[in-house]
């Protein structure tokens, strides 16, 4: 009997679009800890993939990373910060010249405008220092709640949870924090993750979503936390090629 295309896609671990995915039930609190502890063991030195040397560099890099990979941002920021290492120098460099350094990343025109403007505000309103305050951060051009959460978490050591596309997907797929909106997932994660794990969970979840629990086809067969994941349609391992005769 020949296998159907749908069967072959399932055997190879590919996600099909013909069937509506089943909703994952919410993970219980005990399993939430075990799930995250498994990720912690897999990523003992988890940290941001963005390259930065100080809080200003981090802030600008995070602003630039919107709808752009960290790898792409890391290619343009060293030259930019060599030319303008401080908020005052960046403001003096100006939107047009900033744009010349970052043309290879997505939405570079608006990002160049925002980086120039936020640099001016840092000089004018904060003495050239990145503020340790959510409201002040979110008042800066190009800085929304997610960017502010990254800065508060990474730069200032707060247990803030920045929900990007990876964490939003994991929150719903694994059942750790199901929600229809980014803010709902964020609030549930903050409420349900044990306080001693909350700050680092931001990095564990991003790395897991980026490299294992991928959007199109989660690689469940190599997930260290699969035992506690509530995703009902786990992907099987891909078929091994037949040996040559």
Query: Could you give the residue numbers annotated as active site?
Result: 146, 164
Gap between the Cα atoms of 131 and 125, Å rounded? 10
Q: Which of 49, 44, 57 is nearest to 151 (CA)?
A: 57
Gap between the Cα atoms of 109 and 97, Å rounded? 11
Gap between the Cα atoms of 110 and 44, Å rounded? 36
First to last CA, the chain: 23
Q: Which of 197, 196, 189 is nearest to 162 (CA)?
A: 189
Q: Which of 173, 127, 138, 134 is nearest to 35 (CA)?
A: 173
The phi and psi torsions of 130 (rounded to 5 degrees) equal -70, 120
Gap between the Cα atoms of 122 and 129, Å rounded? 6
The dihedral built from the CA positions of residue 230, 206, 21 and 222, taken in this order, carries a sign that is: negative
Gap between the Cα atoms of 227 and 230, Å rounded? 8
- Counting DSSP H helices and E strands in the chain, the numbers are 11, 0
SS3 assignment, position 242? coil
């Amino acid at each position: 009997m020949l296998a159907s295309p749908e069967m072959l896609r399932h055997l190879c671990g590919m996600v099909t679009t013909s069937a509506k995915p089943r909703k994952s039930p919410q993970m219980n609190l005990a399993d939430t800890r075990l799930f995250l502890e498994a990720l912690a063991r897999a990523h003992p030195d988890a940290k941001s993939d963005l390259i930065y040397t100080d809080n200003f560099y981090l802030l600008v890099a995070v602003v630039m990373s919107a709808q752009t990979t960290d790898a792409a941002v890391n290619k343009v920021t060293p030259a930019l910060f060599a030319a303008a290492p401080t908020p005052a120098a960046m403001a003096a460099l100006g939107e047009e010249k900033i744009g010349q350094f970052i043309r290879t990343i997505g939405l570079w025109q608006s990002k160049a405008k925002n980086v120039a403007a936020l640099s001016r505000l840092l000089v004018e309103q904060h003495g050239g220092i990145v503020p340790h305050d959510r409201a002040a951060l979110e008042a800066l051009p190009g800085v929304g709640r997610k960017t502010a959460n990254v800065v508060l978490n990474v730069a200032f050591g707060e247990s803030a949870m920045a929900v990007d596309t990876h964490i939003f997907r994991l929150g719903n797929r694994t059942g750790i924090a199901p929600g229809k909106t980014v803010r709902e997932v964020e609030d549930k994660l903050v409420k349900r993750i044990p306080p001693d794990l909350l700050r680092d969970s931001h990095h564990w979840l991003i790395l897991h979503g980026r490299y294992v629990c991928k959007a199109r086809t989660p690689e469940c067969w190599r997930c260290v936390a699969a035992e506690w994941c509530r995703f009902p349609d786990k992907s099987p391992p891909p078929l091994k090629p037949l040996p040559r005769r």
